[in-house]
Amino acid sequence: MTGKENRPLGPIMATALVVGNMIGSGVYLLPASLAPYGWNVIPAWGITIAGSLAIAAVFAGLCRSHTQTGGPYVYVRAAFGNDLAFFVAWAYWISLFVGNGAIAVAAVSYMSAFVPTLATDALLSTGITILLVWTMTAINISGTRNAGWVQLIATALKVLPLVAVVIIAAMAAPQGDLSLPDPHRPAIGLAAISTAGTLTLWAFLGLESATVPAGKVANPQRTIPLATLGGTALTGVIYLFACTAVILLLAPEVAAHSAAPFAAVIERYWGSGAAHVVAAFAMISAIGALNGWILLQGEMPAAMAAGGVFPKALARLAPNGVPVRAHILSTALVTAILALNASRTTVDMFTFIALLATTASLLMYIAVAAAALKLGGVRPWIAIAAALYSFWALYGAGVEANKLGLLLVLAGVPVWWLMRRKRTAPLT
């Protein structure tokens, strides 16, 4: 295998992985969630973007001296040893494959705009969802470069509706056709900013994406920091302008109750039929995010296996450098989750996934920030800022999310004990 084949992800593909994993299907509903908070959304975005950039800077600093596949697992292991690294990676890995089930459900739900039967036939919908997950897994198994091309194309397409509403707002502003939120309802305050900030945080999960498959990234010391910081900043700008544009173009009370705020804006200004257009782009967005997250859900257990905290078989690579067994295990678990939740409503599933993924990611961000304080690679005040922001966001996520996070960590105790016992067993 040539060097190019061994490290197929260059700066553009690595950045597409970061941006594409952050911009998933949820962004199309985010303006509706933020509309009730009025002008509190602006400082909330500012805090979230600043906090996310601090976390991104921590990852960028650590990856310069730790270029192995595994990202957060590698950094925490280098700083604090295998035990803490296992629990951080365990919780993160579970959030990956559980989250991929929800992303796949979202993609198929958008397909129902074109195939209405999917909205009424639960068995057919579940079958198509499982088929989609295995199709994206097959693309990843066929080669990381193939997955990179899918990610690049999907990311380029998914930002088009977001850019479209910004253009509409720019054209509407000179004509005075904007719906400015009432500056006094709700009043700008810390509580409202904190709540809105928790909502905006969900949109930034995945900023660490380029660090996980580090072994597949060309010139990782340069490419990963560029993709992580550049991708996070680019996504923040897109979010800020696109979501603010929707709130300005729709009356706040309309945006708050809209099931498809981006479609409502585009349909209002560019005519009927926009709902199907936006549904198509939302479907592409979800499929692109699924592709990127499936890449991570295979690389993470492979990295853990290479570190000796997971069965060694999962670390074995195919001739093209892909951990096929780790991918198959992770996707089999996604399939089981989808089959077991076939009767559960999409809303209930997404609520559960959002809490789970947010908590797992925040615990991981805190551990990585602590690792940066010990290992160096970034200014201490940046690592402290990243940790403080993560603690603030963890507090904002609520008691239920923290309980889920604790249960997630505890679920790994039996596996940790078995693997630790195996590592320390005397040779016979």
Joined together, the tokens standing for residue 202 give 């969900």
CATH number, domain with residue 179: 1.20.1740.10
**What's the rounded Cα separation, in Å, for the pair 333 and 93?**
11
Would the CA dihedral through 207, 208, 209, 214 be positive or negative?
positive
Please tell me the total count of domains within the chain: 1
Joined together, the tokens standing for residue 142 give 């066929």
Joined together, the tokens standing for residue 63 give 């990856």
Joined together, the tokens standing for residue 223 give 């490419």
DSSP classification of residue 7: S
**What's the rounded Cα separation, in Å, for the pair 278 and 53?**
29
What confidence score (pLDDT) does residue 379 get?
Answer: 93
Instruction: Please answer whether residues 136 and 100 qualify as being in contact, where contact means their C-beta atoms are separated by less than 8 angstroms.
Output: no
What confidence score (pLDDT) does residue 427 get?
Answer: 45
pLDDT digits (tens, 9 = 90+) for 15-25: 999 999 998 86
**What's the rounded Cα separation, in Å, for the pair 55 and 417?**
31
- Helix/strand/coil for 257: coil
Joined together, the tokens standing for residue 244 give 């603010």
Instruction: Please answer whether residues 291 and 312 qualify as being in contact, where contact means their C-beta atoms are separated by less than 8 angstroms.
Output: no
Q: Which of 357, 370, 362 is nearest to 393 (CA)?
A: 362
What confidence score (pLDDT) does residue 346 get?
Answer: 55
Please classify residue 76 by burial: count the beta carbons closer than 10 Å to its beta carbon, then call 0-12 exposed, 13-18 middle and 19+ buried.
buried
pTM, rounded to two decimals: 0.86
**Range(s) of the domain holding residue 236:** 3-424
Residue 34 exposure: Cα atoms within 13 Å on the Cβ side: 35
What confidence score (pLDDT) does residue 343 get?
Answer: 59
User: Which residues have CB under 8 Å from 207's CB, separation 6+?
Assistant: 18, 22, 52, 55, 56, 59, 228, 231, 232, 235
User: Which residues have CB under 8 Å from 206's CB, separation 6+?
Assistant: 18, 21, 22, 24, 292, 293
The angle subtended at Cα 289 by Cα 88 and Cα 300, nearest 5°, is 30
Tokens 């994993």, located at residue: 21
Joined together, the tokens standing for residue 242 give 């696109």
Q: Where are the alpha helices (DSSP H) in 178-219?
A: 190-202
DSSP states along 87-118? HHHHHHHHHHHHHHHHHHHHHHHHHTTT-THH
**What's the rounded Cα separation, in Å, for the pair 371 and 209?**
18
**What's the rounded Cα separation, in Å, for the pair 65 and 330?**
28
What confidence score (pLDDT) does residue 348 get?
Answer: 58
Residue type, 396: G
Q: Where are the alpha helices (DSSP H) in 143-273?
A: 144-158, 160-172, 190-202, 220-249, 252-256, 261-270
> pLDDT 10s per residue in the chain (428 long)?
444 556 788 999 999 999 999 988 667 767 777 777 877 888 888 899 999 999 999 999 999 989 888 999 999 999 999 999 999 999 889 888 888 888 888 888 788 878 888 877 878 888 999 999 999 999 999 999 999 999 999 999 988 888 888 888 888 776 656 565 555 466 788 878 877 887 788 788 889 999 988 888 989 999 999 999 999 999 989 888 888 787 777 766 666 666 567 777 777 777 767 767 877 888 898 899 999 999 999 999 999 999 888 989 999 999 988 999 999 999 999 998 888 766 555 555 556 666 677 788 888 999 999 999 999 889 999 999 999 999 988 887 778 778 878 888 888 899 899 888 877 655 44
